[in-house]
Amino acid sequence: MSDGGNGRAADDAVVEAIDPDLAREARERAADAERVLVKAGTNSLTDEDSRLDRVKLDKLVADVMDLRERGKEVVLVSSGAVGAGKGRLDRMNGVKTGGDAGDGDEAVEPIAESQALSTVGQSNLMRHYTQSFERYDQTVAQILLTGQDLDTPERFRNFRNTIETLIAWDVVPIINENDAVAIDELQIGDNDMLSASIATGIGVDLLVTLTDVDGVYTGNPKHDSDARLIEAVGDNYDAIQRLIDESATDAFGGIRTKVEGAHDVSMHDIPAVIAGSATPDVLERIATAKPTGTLFVPTSEETDD
């Protein structure tokens, strides 16, 4: 993406705002959602050293409970197991991670290390979730999935039946990829595509993806002070996708899969929102139809000119 005044003006010109009435209707529909899938990314749950941050986790739980107290059904897709594993091993065993195999000269493959860290961290992550939700007398359940579980009809039917039963019991399901046997979301996506597939498969009314930026921007807001928040995505999706392809770096590339996942869900007539996990009362804002993050308008709410 171009820098400077002329480049910024060109960027703004190619991302036209969608019809405000369509955005308002979609925002109200999101607020009325009865079943919500909330996806929390790694950066929404870990500190700058990539270790689980209990303060961030407690805020996420408080935000989820804002929805539960409104009578909404919530399914949580959570990353963070690798970070929880790092913190656990550092505190308890003094194990060095990040490619260092410790004694000996043989380095651990990054993916293999992440898989191993996730197995250490998953139970620790769930322990923290259980403790945090218990402050609200809310019971949670753990489900670990792979892409094959969603692609195989019998496995998916069993998964969906489990979700429906847990929701009927007023339990909040907490889902993560089974990283010990599947690596797709470790390599790319941070559970973004997994959450999109789950959202369409279990019939949610809204997908909310929480991340460490406040939505989708015309550039990388961490490095570009002129980057502008895109408030709504609809028939301007192609232009937004081009901007992301031009501006995404390794550090910011995760926004690409978040946008793809949200767009996929919106194509199934489900509104989606990408918002900042640090935003105060972020889920309550969405539940009260306040402009928050970037809204993806369901296709049925779009009209041709």
* Contacts of residue 112, Cβ cutoff 8 Å, sequence gap at least 6: none
Angle at 184 between CA 265 and CA 196, to 5 degrees: 10
Q: Averaging pLDDT over each range in 92-106, 113-127, 190-204, 281-295, which range is the top one?
A: 281-295
User: Over 50: is that where the pLDDT of 8 sits?
Assistant: no
166's torsion region: left (phi>0), alpha (psi -120 to 50) or beta?
Answer: alpha
pLDDT digits (tens, 9 = 90+) for 47-97: 988 889 999 999 999 999 999 999 999 999 998 888 888 888 876 666 666
CA distance 218 to 15: 8
End-to-end Cα separation, the chain, in angstroms: 28
Q: Where are the domains of the chain?
A: 4-301
Contact 75, 173 (CB under 8 A): yes
Give the percent of the chain with pLDDT over 90.
58
Q: Which CATH number fits domain 4-301: 3.50.50.60, 3.40.1160.10, 3.40.50.360, 1.10.1740.10?
A: 3.40.1160.10
